[in-house]
Chains A and B, each alone.
Chain A
């Protein structure tokens, strides 16, 4: 999943799992309920709970209809074509308000959790024995905003569309990864219509999805807007991205790409069939590319005309005290892990990598980078963030996560006979946070006996330089957001050998390559589904203790604010966005 905009410190990339596990509805002991609003220990299980029988309509006690919600953000909306929407903001706005799909998340206020529930399908789908075939049955009486009925064929079309990597380069690639013919069928626009597309078949109200590899996480993938219904004759990519046909409670009215969007009620929305969405406000108005300082100012003042305003951007650290004292803040976590990736080809001694971890100024970097400690930056120990299925809690270092120990770093460096070892990493001169963080990191490394060489670049060039294996740096910073709570969305993309000689880095920023780890990943993927979750947890620990390829900097958190009339602004901890389905305007 992509962040709202490229941020240097995090700069996450799409996470594609090569096979998957977890997602089982065991919903093991969720841990402390209630308590603090930010559940950093379990992250509300980031959507691992499922409720296949929930039925609509959904309602909120005490909520009243009416009002216009204004949404402010500094980043624009990239494409709004459901097939290509793969940023935090585009995905969650589409699936929360506009387009329905087979499954969806519902917010469980009591336990502060996201629960996977049915949407247009009657349940969460039925797999065959080895998870290579999934069957969904559609509900009756579903229509688009123009009144035309939703056909099962529209799901076939959208699945075919979701495999067109050339027409939708920014979209998620899970269909190609898992669906039958994913590597040969090029999509309806690049290829020749539906010719050769066999993965999805419709029979009356029944849809059958065929996989090339076992895919137990299909219900999660089915919740993406890309797999919602798209009518074939109205789906020209150039036009559809400007006005995707609504099946949910709101439809597009005015839309200026990257700048503004107005959503109005969709009269054809069938509330009785929708177990999670509500439609209390009359309109949503998205005002984008607003300065962060201005957004915070509007929310701080909460003037009478702006009380129904909310933002899904993190508030600035300097405004945290003002806004948190108003009680109009929503804090939460989402499955993001940020890390420093030492180049495994260049920094070959594990002691040096560990020394970096001990030397890294976690607390200083939080302040310099504009993070709010324990809110938007949670100390991290393992690669899999809290809430991931099978996550094993352990600490590969001898100090608490997020603690610096200069003496330890010095000792390790001396042991490795590498005092004065040069660390070269990128920072962006046009990003104040990046520059300030560079200063503290540079000094901390120097203190520990390293030679620190920060390499300046610009925001625009940052990711290009980072993904070039020949760039003259030996540490890369990166981050990763899981698309669903499974270890398979972490290890294969991040730590499996890539063809570095051919210039392919992917998300393996450390250029990590160990045959035994590659083998173990294969073994896990080929193991029975129910054993995989635990095996990923074991692998996480094995890798960290034996190779220590990644230095975990922080887990992700969000701190969003809203005006005093906005009710139901919680944090969707699968994606770090507001729970759109729960929002209403208090006009009292």
Chain B
């Protein structure tokens, strides 16, 4: 475990041999480097991490530029554009598209086909769904990290009743049934913010982030608390306490920099979890109904699988690629930060 205080670059005994064995032949410079630098160095050499990061970058770009791409391809995710086709123009009476797959072969104007019932373009819907997925995952990760790290730091450092209370609080939340909570919240949100579909869309987005954070910060908080429990007994912390460094400074200047590694790992592994959770909740109909969502698309498409497999496969594959890429990158980051990993 790295013991550096962040600014001073001290390489610990545990870190030493590891680093030497890997770095010595290529580098003459034996000056200390921060664990983060070492980790990044390792990541650069990890092909899986590089490929997955590239995939993620593409997905993020697709999501960010979804409106431009859709404009350019003339595909639409709602009816607001006068050129957007209406259901009766592109769907037959039995709700299957009358142009493009599954009955009429590939067409360039709708590369992934048309959604039954709404007549939306599947590619456009996926691009916007990707947008929603990533936004929800990033927001949920950011908030749950802040909450988890703060409470974990306090609980681990405080000792006594504060620690007991916070630990109980964490356990209490961990024992809360997540799906049940989400199920109960969905209708309340609709009722409370049901003024118009616009405000509802915003409320749903925030509420799904809220639900994910509400039930997602405990793992990180526990992890951080455990780390702090061992760190606070170390000499540099005790030294800081002895010379009268204020508690706030001890927490954020002495302890936090040493927690960068576990935090980065936790973040990189929670992102795919949240992507999957958003899709799952929307699949159950308790997530997003007003904005495009990959989970909702999967749910809608299951009934059509037999005759229109493309409709189901496309969102499933996108979710799969995104979650696998995020997970692999997360794994690589964990390996890179973990001194015990040998390769």
Using a CB–CB distance below 8 Å, which chain A residues touch chain B? Answer: 293, 316-322, 361, 363-364, 366-368, 370, 372-375, 429-430, 432-433, 435-436, 438-440, 442-444, 453-458, 460-461
Contacts and interface: CB of A to CB of B under 8 A. Distances in A.
Contact of A370 (B95, B302, B307): B95
A439 B289 contact: no
Contacts of A432: 285, 300
A62 to B, nearest CB: 33
A226 B46 CA distance: 77
Contacts of A322: 306-307
Interface string B142-156: 000000000000000
Interface in B258-309: 285, 289-290, 300, 302-304, 306-308
A457 B190 contact: yes
A430 B91 CA distance: 24
B198 to A, nearest CB: 10
B304 A367 contact: no
A547 to B, nearest CB: 29
Given A361-B86, A363-B88, A429-B289, A457 B194 contact: yes
Max chain A CB contacts within 10 Å: which of B87, B191, B307?
B87
Contacts of A370: 95, 117
A443 B79 CA distance: 6
Given A432-B300, A456-B190, A318 B95 contact: yes
Contacts of A440: 79, 86-87, 118
Contact of A320 (B91, B94, B200, B285): B94
Contact of B302 (A293, A363, A433): A293
Interface in B182-205: 186-187, 190-191, 194-197, 200
A316 B87 CA distance: 17
A460 B118 contact: no
A455 B197 CA distance: 7
Given A317-B95, A363-B88, A435 B289 contact: yes
B319 to A, nearest CB: 19
A241 B234 CA distance: 74
A440 B78 CA distance: 9
Q: Which 10 A-B pairs have the closest CB atoms?
A: A363-B88, A443-B79, A373-B93, A367-B87, A364-B87, A456-B194, A317-B95, A320-B94, A429-B289, A364-B88
Nearest to B93: A373
B96 interface: yes
Contacts of B200: 429, 456
Nearest to A434: B289
Interface string B98-123: 00000000000000000011110000
B60 to A, nearest CB: 28
B96 A439 contact: no
A64 B119 CA distance: 48
A364 B86 contact: yes
A442 B88 CA distance: 15
B88 A367 contact: yes
Label chain A's interface by main secondary structure: helix
Contacts of A375: 93
B197 A438 contact: yes
Contacts of A319: 303
A484 B160 CA distance: 77
B230 interface: no
Nearest to B301: A318
B26 interface: no
Contacts of A373: 93
B80 A443 contact: yes
Contacts of A363: 87-88
A442 B93 CA distance: 21
15 contacts: A316-B303, A318-B94, A320-B94, A367-B91, A370-B117, A429-B194, A429-B290, A430-B186, A439-B79, A443-B78, A443-B79, A453-B196, A455-B196, A456-B200, A460-B187
A436 B118 contact: yes
Contacts of B94: 317-318, 320-321, 372
Nearest to B304: A318
Contacts of B78: 439, 443
A351 B111 CA distance: 43
A368 B196 contact: no
A83 B286 CA distance: 38
Nearest to B289: A429
Interface string B127-162: 000000000000000000000000000000000000
Max chain B CB contacts within 10 Å: which of A316, A438, A455, A456?
A456
A462 to B, nearest CB: 11
A370 B302 CA distance: 15
A439 B120 CA distance: 11
A433 B116 CA distance: 12
A443 to B, nearest CB: 4
B100 to A, nearest CB: 16
A372 B187 CA distance: 30
Nearest to B88: A363
Nearest to B296: A432
A318 B194 contact: no
Contacts of B303: 293, 316, 318-319
Contact of B88 (A316, A361, A372, A458): A361
B196 A318 contact: no
A439 B93 contact: no
A407 B88 CA distance: 18
B116 A318 contact: yes
B325 to A, nearest CB: 30
A367 B196 contact: no
A469 to B, nearest CB: 19
Nearest to B94: A320
A225 to B, nearest CB: 35
Contacts of B304: 318
A430 B187 contact: yes
Nearest to A453: B196
Contact of B96 (A321, A435, A456): A321
Nearest to B90: A367
Nearest to A367: B87
B289 A367 contact: no
B188 to A, nearest CB: 10
Contacts of A460: 187
B35 to A, nearest CB: 48
Given A370-B95, A372-B94, A440-B79, A430 B87 contact: no
Contact of B194 (A293, A438, A455): A455
A322 B95 CA distance: 13
A370 B300 CA distance: 12
B108 to A, nearest CB: 24
A456 B290 CA distance: 10
A67 B34 CA distance: 79
Max chain B CB contacts within 10 Å: which of A319, A321, A373, A439?
A439
A434 B200 CA distance: 15
Contact of A458 (B118, B191, B195): B191
A566 B285 CA distance: 36
Contact of A374 (B79, B93, B96): B93
A429 B286 CA distance: 10
Contacts of B307: 318, 321-322
